[in-house]
Each structure stands twice: as structure tokens, then as C-alpha cells.
Amino acid sequence: MTKAEKVQYVVDELERLYPETPVPLDHKDPFTLLVAVVLSAQCTDERVNQITPKLFAVADNPYDMAKMTVDEIAAIIRPCGLVPMKSKGIHSFSNTIVNDYNGEVPASFEALEAMPSVGHKTASVVMSQAFGVPAFPVDTHIQRLMFRWGFSNGKSVDQTEKDAKRLFARELWNKLHLQIIFYGREYSPARGWDLEKDYITSRIGRRSEIKKWEAEQERKAKKASQKKARR
């Protein structure tokens, strides 16, 4: 297949597998999504969804969040890790939203990325999922699969984002980035990767990655055979 045919194959398969793409982080508006995305750094979505109801029961808007102390926020979000940075960031950007944006999360990449603890990926998620602005947030799943599929060199998140935006139609970005994440979790994880299950990579993937997986299977089979022979 040509690269264009591979790209279309991926789009078609992901649409078949995941016609619906609910946002994995529970939220009710742009502010609660922003908080949840910040909490998700180096923390699973499942754990974030366990913590946010406790936090939002106390403060589900920037006004109430700004009234909390950093320590009060930290005590609730502790299971999510990176507590000092996240608690200070959430408290600080809540104040910014109240003081500079009349309590409304700004629908601007520049404004979002200027706030504490809000990087480009976080801003991209909020812009795409809260405001419907085309964006392609790159997480570890997308970084891994774009490389495995031979769509990017994997050298940087910035490059992967540029390659994804170049290869995939703009109108697909907001849904497609979630579809890739869902596929990565279900079929092509970083650990315990099984190429026999990961059928998209098996068909169109980077040859060096496929050979690496095959070599690992041969190594495991040889090791198991040697262990059996010693019994």
C-alpha cells in the first residue's frame, strides 16, 4: 500500500471500531475538563475520574477553586501524583480565569498555554473537546502508534503532531486522536504488545518494529524450549 492508502485504511478501521468517541475524562464544562486534563499528567484517566468528583464537590468552577488554598487542593488530588505542581497550577489558573476572563475558560491556544500547568497538549485537548476547534493532542499512545505505523519518526511530540496534521484531514482530527488512543489501549499497548492482536500494525506497520517483535517472540520461544529441555 502507498502511504495515502495506509492512512485511509487506518481511518476506515478506526471508524469501524470506534464510531463513538466519548471523552475519557469525566467533565461537565470547559473548566472541569481543563482541571481533569491537568490532573491526568502521569496519571491514569480512571484514577482522575475517581478524584475529580471529590474535588468538584467542593469547587467545580474557577471562583470556588480560587477560594481554596493550594494545600486544600493538594489534599484532594494527592492520589494523582505531581501534587505540588498540579495544585499550584490549578489554583493559579483558576485565579487567572476569574481575574482576566470573567470566570470563563478562554477559547484560545495562546491564552490557555500562557496559564500555569497548561502546556500545548492540555490546551489542544480543551480546544478540541470543549470548544470544537480542530486540534491533534499527542499523548504516549499516539506517539507510539504514529511510529509503529510508519507515519512519524517518533523523535518528538511536536514532529508527531505536525505529521499527524499533515497526513489526516483536518475535519477528522478531534475524533481521530481519541480513536487512536482507544486503539492503542486495546490493541497496541506499550507493554505486553501482541502483534497478532494488533492487526493494523501487522498489516501496515513499520517493518523494523515488526521484525523487532518477531525477534522477541523467537527469543521467548527459544528460552522456553531451553527451560523445558533442562527439566
- What separation in angstroms does the CA of 118 have from each of 115, 123, 140, 142, 230? 6, 6, 17, 19, 56
Q: Tell me, yes or no, if 71 is annotated catalytic.
A: no
Residue with cell 488554598: 69
3-state SS assignment for residue 78: helix
In angstroms, rounded to a whole number, what is the distance separating the alpha carbons of residues 27 and 40? 13
Is residue 76 within 8 Å of 55, Cβ to Cβ? yes
Q: Tell me, yes or no, if 88 is annotated catalytic.
A: no
Count of C-beta atoms within a 10 Å radius of residue 215: 10
Instruction: Identify the active-site residue in 26, 45, 100, 139.
Output: 139
Q: How far is CA 118 from the centre of its chain?
A: 14
Instruction: Identify the active-site residue in 6, 60, 86, 121.
Output: 121
- The residues, ordered by sequence, that sit 6+ positions from 214 with a Cβ below 8 Å of its Cβ are 195
> So which residues are the catalytic ones?
121, 139
